Amino acid sequence: MRLINRKPGRAFALFLLLVPFVLALIAYSVGSEIRLAENPADKLLPAPSKIVATAERLFTEPDKRSGRILLWHDTAISLRRLGLGVMLSALAGLVFGLLIGLLPHLRAMFSGFVAVVSMIPPLAILPILFIVFGLGEVSKVVLIVIGITPFLIRDMSQRTLEIPREMIVKAETLGASTATIALRVALPQVLPRLIQSVRLSLGPAWLFLIAAEAIASDLGLGYRIFIVRRYLAMDVILTYVLWITLLAFTLDWLLKKLSERLFPWTEASL
């Protein structure tokens, strides 16, 4: 039997799913063990048990100076920045994408501009953002918006263009105006794709968030990682990295579930 036709059973698939995770954990433990055996004070690869202990401390014990549990504060502020940035971008991407996809005049005017703007490396203009918007919340949100909006606009306008012409013509023969076609034919069909694109751009959004926080901030997940780097506190960094990964994964999963819940008709076509 060809390899492309061999499929794992349910239990075996679950086992295969876990294998890389377990292997990564084992590789880390072995590496950590070797280094700690040579030098018990080694900080680079702390033992898994130490990471767990640190995580417990970070999640439960308040900071001595401020009396707040910093991790939760960092999480809240980072998620707020991320959420705000992603939501603004999604809204802009949806509105401009629909307009560019539907209206030939706007397409002629903006598609080239958006293509060029999307090539600007967002991190390269981060200094400008700090100068213009200051070091507060705005510059971080704006960096996320600038970073992912051009991609979302291009993707949404492309998706709008991919709506079969027949469907648009059919709506026209039913007497639909441009606004009706936009709101009742195009919008519902690109909304599921918007969630898809937002899921894809969550990765870059986290990147921009952490970069902005690392450079200028006094709270936030990215800020914390970069501040404890000075003390080589690998246990703290690793805890934060795992926590961020978990948050990102959960967000992605929630968006997927949201899409399935809101747009049952996309499932029907599969």
Q: Is 164 in the site for another protein (CB under 8 A)?
A: yes
Is 263 a binder of another protein (CB under 8 A)? yes
Candidate list 29, 158, 180, 196; residue touching another protein; CB under 8 A:
180
Asked whether position 173 contacts another protein by CB under 8 A, the answer is yes
Q: Does 166 bind another protein (CB under 8 A)?
A: yes
DSSP structural state of residue 233:
-
Q: Residue 17, interface with another protein (CB under 8 A)?
A: no
- Cα 63 from Cα 65, distance rounded (Å): 6
What is the three-state SS of 64-129?
CCCCCCHHHHHHHHHHHHHHHHHHHHHHHHHHHHHHHHHCHHHHHHHHHHHHHHCCCCHHHHHHHH
Rounded CA gap, 5 and 121, in Å? 43
- Say how many residues make up the chain: 270
Q: At closest approach, how far in Å is the CB of 189 from another protein?
A: 6
Binds another protein (CB under 8 A): choice among 170, 229, 256, 257? 170
Q: Does 176 bind another protein (CB under 8 A)?
A: yes
**Nearest to another protein of 66, 269 (CB atom):** 269
Give Cα 147 distance to the centre of its chain: 11
Quick one: which of 174, 232, 242, 254 contacts another protein (CB under 8 A)?
Answer: 174
For another protein, the closer CB: 159 or 224 = 159
**Cβ neighbours, 10 Å, residue 194:** 21
Stretch that binds another protein, among 36-44, 121-129, 162-170, 236-244 (CB under 8 A): 162-170
Contact call for residue 1 and another protein (CB under 8 A): no
Please list, in sequence order, all residues whose beta carbon lies within 8 angstroms of the beta carbon of residue 60, skipping any fewer than 6 positions away. Answer: 69
Cα separation, 264 vs 253, in Å, equals 17
Q: Does 178 participate in binding another protein (rule CB under 8 A)?
A: no
Give the nearer residue to another protein in terms of CB position, either 20 or 164. 164
Site residue total, another protein (CB under 8 A): 24
Residue with Cβ nearer another protein (192 or 222):
192
Closest among 146, 144, 263 to 195, alpha carbons compared? 263
Is residue 265 a contact point for another protein (CB under 8 A)?
yes
Q: Does 185 bind another protein (CB under 8 A)?
A: yes
Can residue 104 be called a binding residue for another protein (CB under 8 A)?
no
Contact call for residue 169 and another protein (CB under 8 A): yes
- Pick 5 or 173: Cβ nearer another protein: 173
Per DSSP, the residues of 176-223 read --HHHIIIIIIHHHHHHHHHHHHHHHHHHHHHHHHHHHHHS-SSSHHH
Q: Given the rule CB under 8 A, which residues bind another protein?
A: 164, 166-167, 169-177, 179-180, 183-185, 188-189, 263-265, 268-269
